[in-house]
């Protein structure tokens, strides 16, 4: 037998408490005094557009270098499995410890979804026009529409602007981070 206990009233707290049938564990469900949808399970249906459904982060402090114009992974990566094909993925990147060697070059950074480039977010990072060593950091954010419920990997890649000079990421054990947020559409 279920029991409904009403607390409050005109001058009360404005809550209604439903008590579960007697089991070896008592359970209480307290409903807010507000309009809207009350979610009753762990699914992501019912959330309004713009709600954050899940958050995934990745970090790395491993030094990665490249002295070619062929992009290489920086080691900064994270994978998310969207709960709906209509969801958006907000990507926040903080790429740190970027450095160019003593040769006149610069770093190019790009953001990838699986094997597809979705954003080139640095075109001439650390450029000095000289042979001086230079360090910098870079960040970006991007709202992606992957249109899938399959596991999706986001990562960054680095390229040397001069095909023979070295650029690097995560120098001096700098920590780079990537955060993925699934946003309800």
Span 118-133, average pLDDT: 92
Clarify whether residues 11 and 82 are in a common domain: no
Clarify whether residues 25 and 61 are in a common domain: no
Clarify whether residues 141 and 62 are in a common domain: yes
Cα(168)–Cα(184) distance, integer angstroms: 36
Average confidence score pLDDT of the chain: 87
Clarify whether residues 2 and 82 are in a common domain: no
Clarify whether residues 89 and 157 are in a common domain: yes
Give domain status of residue 44, yes or no: no
pLDDT at residue number 69: 93
Give domain status of residue 46, yes or no: no
Identify the band that residue 31 occupies on the pLDDT scale cut at 50, 70 and 90.
Answer: low
Clarify whether residues 110 and 62 are in a common domain: yes
Clarify whether residues 24 and 68 are in a common domain: no
Clarify whether residues 99 and 27 are in a common domain: no
Identify the band that residue 29 occupies on the pLDDT scale cut at 50, 70 and 90.
Answer: low
**Mind listing the pLDDT tens digit for each residue in 150-167?**
999 999 999 999 888 999
pLDDT at residue number 3: 53
Identify the band that residue 147 occupies on the pLDDT scale cut at 50, 70 and 90.
Answer: very high
Clarify whether residues 5 and 94 are in a common domain: no
Clarify whether residues 121 and 149 are in a common domain: yes
Give domain status of residue 163, yes or no: yes
Give domain status of residue 24, yes or no: yes
Per the model's pLDDT, the better-predicted residue between 10 and 59 turns out to be 59
Give domain status of residue 41, yes or no: no
Span 64-83, average pLDDT: 97
Give domain status of residue 126, yes or no: yes
Answer for the pair 5, 20: CB distance below 8 angstroms, yes or no.
Answer: no
pLDDT at residue number 35: 67
pLDDT at residue number 164: 83
pLDDT at residue number 1: 47
Per the model's pLDDT, the better-predicted residue between 35 and 67 turns out to be 67
Identify the band that residue 63 occupies on the pLDDT scale cut at 50, 70 and 90.
Answer: very high
pLDDT for 64 beyond 80: yes
Span 102-117, average pLDDT: 94
How many domains, in total, are found in the chain? 2
SS3 per residue for the chain: CCEEEECCCCCCCCCEEEECCCCCCCCEEEECCCCCCCCCCCCCCCCCCCCEEEEEEEEECCCEEECCCCCEEEEEEEEECCCCCCCEEEEEEEEEEEEECCCCCCEEEEEEECCEEEEEEEEEECCCCCCCCEEEEEEEEEEECCCCCCCEEEEEEEEECCCCCCEEECHHHCCEEEEEEEECC
Give domain status of residue 84, yes or no: yes
Clarify whether residues 79 and 161 are in a common domain: yes
Neighbours of 168 (CB within 10 A): 23
Residue 84 is part of which domain span? Answer: 52-183
Q: At which residue do the structure tokens 């003593």 appear?
A: 102
Identify the band that residue 5 occupies on the pLDDT scale cut at 50, 70 and 90.
Answer: low
Return the CATH number at 83: 2.60.120.1340
């Amino acid at each position: 037998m279920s029991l409904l206990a009403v607390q409050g009233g005109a001058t009360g707290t404005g809550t209604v408490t439903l008590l579960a049938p007697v089991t070896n564990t008592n359970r209480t469900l307290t409903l807010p005094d507000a309009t809207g949808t009350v979610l009753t399970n762990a699914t992501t249906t019912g959330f309004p557009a713009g709600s954050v459904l899940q958050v995934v982060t990745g970090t790395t402090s491993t030094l990665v270098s490249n002295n070619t114009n062929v992009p290489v992974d920086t080691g900064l990566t994270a994978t998310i499995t969207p709960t709906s094909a209509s969801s958006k993925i907000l990507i926040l990147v903080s790429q740190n410890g970027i450095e160019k060697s003593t040769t006149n070059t610069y770093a190019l950074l790009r953001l990838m979804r699986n094997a597809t480039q979705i954003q080139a977010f640095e075109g001439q990072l650390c450029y000095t026009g000289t042979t001086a060593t230079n360090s910098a950091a870079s960040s970006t954010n991007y709202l992606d529409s992957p249109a899938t419920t399959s596991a999706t990997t986001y990562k960054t890649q680095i390229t040397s602007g001069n095909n023979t000079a070295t650029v690097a990421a995560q120098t001096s054990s700098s920590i780079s981070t990537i955060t993925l947020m699934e946003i309800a559409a």
